[in-house]
Structure 1
Amino acid sequence: MCVGRACLHRSAKTLSTGDLLTRIPDAPMVSVVMAVRNGQAYLRDAMDSILSQTLADFELIVVDDGSTDRTPDILEDYARRDCRVRVLSQAPQGLSEALNRAISAARGKYIARMDADDVALRERLARQVAFMETHPDVGLLGTAVCEVDPDGRPRAVFTMPGNDEQLRRALIKFNPFFHSSVMIRRSVLEQVGLYSEEMRWAEDYDLWMRLARHTRLANLQEVLLKRRTEYGGSHSVRHEREQVRHALAIRWRAIRMGMYPITALPYLIRPVLMLVLPASLRRSLRSWQRRRGRIVRT
């Protein structure tokens, strides 16, 4: 099934019914969306892992967000060799803007996220589609992941809370989804809109919280993604502060809108306390929080 490569020259923050639900007859089951900037080191691994999926009914939409390395050449090569690959290019704008452009161009029933330095296991799309097809009330589905170092060596396996009740309890405390593992039901995005372009350091957490108002949530307990992680803390203090500020705003909005009782207010205090802690202690607490509520195997 060949897919056209026409670029869509807009980045919508919200989607209309026409934008989201109009599908041509041969539209794929899944649209895999990826944003990349200067990702030449691992991009081929990521794309190969998608193109070798056991479920073949998909399109892979990659937005090149202003790369200055060999990323454009790599993308052009893949698009030339496999008509399921669609490449959109833009000046540097950021992750939210790039993903919104990819989703706006997507035609699939389901939207699957993928990062340009991760590796999807061959059954990933098939397993997620099978679950979504048999659970029509679920609109957001993640998976367990194996975290690997930059060289691909396994570090640990993380399994998030699995069912809707567990995930709702967790969502006010921390982000219980691995962003690059999720699959979203396209029709639900019509109700909530796209990634916020204001919540740059918590765009995924913000979207999950908005989705939770309209659909049920789930995480597969099976490892279906290798997530590449560089430890040691590469974010600046300013970025950490922005991330905490955005998390605070997201949680306060959820309480204010009645998603959680007033007794959940202590979960707003935690992000504020994080701002005044030394960086080394913040990293230790963040590592502990990443493991809280998860089954961890090292």
Structure 2
Amino acid sequence: MSLVSIIVPCRNYGALLPEALDSVLAQTHAEWECLVVDDGSTDSTPAVAARYAARDPRMRYLPRPHLGASAARNHGLREARGRFIQFLDADDLLPPRKLEAQLAYLAAHPAVDVVYGDVRYFRHGAPAELSRSFDMQDSTAWFVPLHGTGAAVLRPLLAENRVVIHAPLLRRSVFEAVGAFSERLGAVEDWEFWLRCAAGGQVFDYQDLPGTCTLVRVHPRSTSQDRARVVANVERLRVHLKPLLAAFGDAGLSALNQTLLNDIRLENAGYYMQHGEVRRGLLGFTRLALDTGQYLTGLRNVAYWIRFCLRKAIKKNNKSI
């Protein structure tokens, strides 16, 4: 049995949902079910999902109150009947051969738990123009391919989330081993999940198989476009990871996570000061000094940014005279 459960969380993406579901219907592997989990949408999502469910019995519409994408994915997991799990955001697309090619790879490599491939980005309204990078400048791919499990995967994953949510095809046993998505971390819940998989012994394998390059839409509502929210979520994630890494027992990984946490707190505090949110900036520098014990460095940072804010205020005042 090779039933794949495709889980599509959707919150007010009724205008884009048809493209995502059409990409599901175009799969060359026909043994799938698609669970559209409506996260309390107030737009056309219910009507769109109901129309597709009436069109194909493999489509299922699961409406829920608005609890967030993680809760929607977890509800889909509870309802899923497949031995394999594929996620798809409601504004993105799957290439037609993705399920077929990655299922064949998992069948031939029973030790692999998570197989994933490459990603291409496209601007909303211009699906034919593809890029290897989110900035649409076609720069070098932003991720390092992952192979294996444990520290070999944790180290590169700690630095950056290197797995787009719908790039992998996973065995259902992965969730039975490590649990579902955290519902407390905002838009980085998938990153935390991949880290938990690596710490829990699940085997990753990047394979650039023909026809498996997933498509991610770049548009103003893309969650990764919101800088302030992304940075806050990453900071929360790094704090959340401390017990996981301590239990894993690699002091080097814990130290790396702390260094990255300090870096993002420094960046965030400077960002707030630069944009006039002095109270939040000072709070960030204070927290960083308490965490690191580098009080003199903290005072120097505060002094630098206070001078910056004063110069900015004086310059603005002179212009208004």
TM-score bracket, normalised by the shorter chain, equals: 0.7 to 0.9
2:245–2:253 CA contact under 8 A, matched in 1: no
Change (3 A) 1:174 1:250: farther
- How far is 1:126 from its partner? 0.8
1:128: which partner in 2? 102
8 A contact 2:242–2:254 mirrored in 1 = no
2:132 matched residue in structure 1:
156
Q: Counterpart of 1:198 in structure 2: which amino acid?
A: R
Larger Rg: 2
Identify the residue that residue 64 of structure 2 maps to in structure 1. 90
Residue of structure 1 in register with 2:295 after alignment: none
Alpha carbons of 1:160 and 1:130: their partners in 2 closer, same or farther (altered >3 Å)? farther
Give the match for residue 200 of structure 1. 186
Report the counterpart of residue 80 of structure 2 in structure 1.
106
Distance, in Å, in 2 between the alignment partners of 1:184 and 1:240 is 26
Distance across 2 between alignment mates of 1:260 and 1:205: 19
Q: Structure 2 CA distance, aligned partners of 1:176 and 1:236?
A: 18
SS at match of 1:202: helix
For residue 21 of structure 2, what is the amino acid of its counterpart?
Answer: M
**Distance in 2 separating the partners of 1:71 and 1:263:** 42
Give the secondary structure class of the aligned counterpart of 2:186: coil
- Does structure 2 conserve the Cα–Cα contact (< 8 Å) formed by 1:140 and 1:185? yes
Hey, which of these two has a bigger chunk of helix by percent? 2
Change beyond 3 A, Cα 1:105–1:195:
same
The structural deviation recorded for 1:160 is: 4.0
Structure 2 match to 1:3: none
Q: Quick one: distance in 2 between partners of 1:52 and 1:269?
A: 45
Matching residue within 14, 34, 38 for 1:40: 14
Where structure 2 has 5 or more consecutive residues not aligned to the other structure, the ranges are: 134-140, 275-321
Corresponding position of 2:118: 144
Q: Match for residue 176 of structure 1?
A: 162
1:95: how far off? 0.5
Partner of 1:49: 23
Structure 1 runs not aligned, ≥5 long = 1-26, 282-298
Cα distance in structure 1, aligned partners of 2:254 and 2:32: 40
Distance of 1:250 and 1:30 partners within structure 2: 31
Contact 2:154 2:195 survives alignment (8 Å): no
- Secondary structure in 2 aligned to 1:172? helix
- What SS does structure 2 have at the residue aligned with 1:176? coil
Change (3 A) 1:230 1:141: same
Distance in 1 between residues matched to 2:2 and 2:71, nearest whole Å: 23
Which position in structure 1 is the counterpart of 2:207? 220
Q: Which moved more, 1:49-58 or 1:164-173?
A: 164-173
2:69 and 2:146 map into 1 onto residues whose CA distance is 27
Structure with larger RCO (C-alpha < 8 A, sep 6+) = 1
**Residue in structure 2 matched with residue 12 of structure 1 by the alignment:** none
Distance in 1 separating the partners of 2:153 and 2:179? 21
Q: 2:250 aligns with which of 251, 256, 260?
A: 260
Q: Report the Cα offset of residue 28 of structure 1.
A: 5.5
Counterpart CA distance in 2 for 1:162 and 1:266 is 18
| 1:8-38 deviations in Å (ceiling 9; x for gaps) | xxxxxxxxxxxxxxxxxxx762100010011
d(CA) in 1 for partners of 2:46, 2:253: 50
Following TM superposition, by how much is the alpha carbon of 1:276 offset from its aligned partner in structure 2, in angstroms?
A: 2.4
**Alignment identity in percent?**
28
Alignment length (residue pairs): 253
The DSSP-based 3-state class of the residue aligned with 2:5 is strand
Q: Say whether the 8 Å CA contact 2:111–2:203 is kept in structure 1.
A: yes
Question: Are the equivalent residues in 2 in contact too, given 1:140–1:211 (CA < 8 A)?
Answer: no
Q: 1:68 aligns with which of 42, 54, 78?
A: 42
**Which segment is superposed worse, 263-272 or 60-69?**
263-272
What does residue 305 of structure 2 align with? none
TM value normalised by structure 2 = 0.72
Alpha-carbon shift at residue 72 of structure 1 (Å): 0.9
How high is the TM-score relative to the length of structure 1? 0.77
CA drift at 1:251: 3.8
RMSD value, Cα? 2.3
- Aligned-partner residue type, residue 159 of structure 2: K
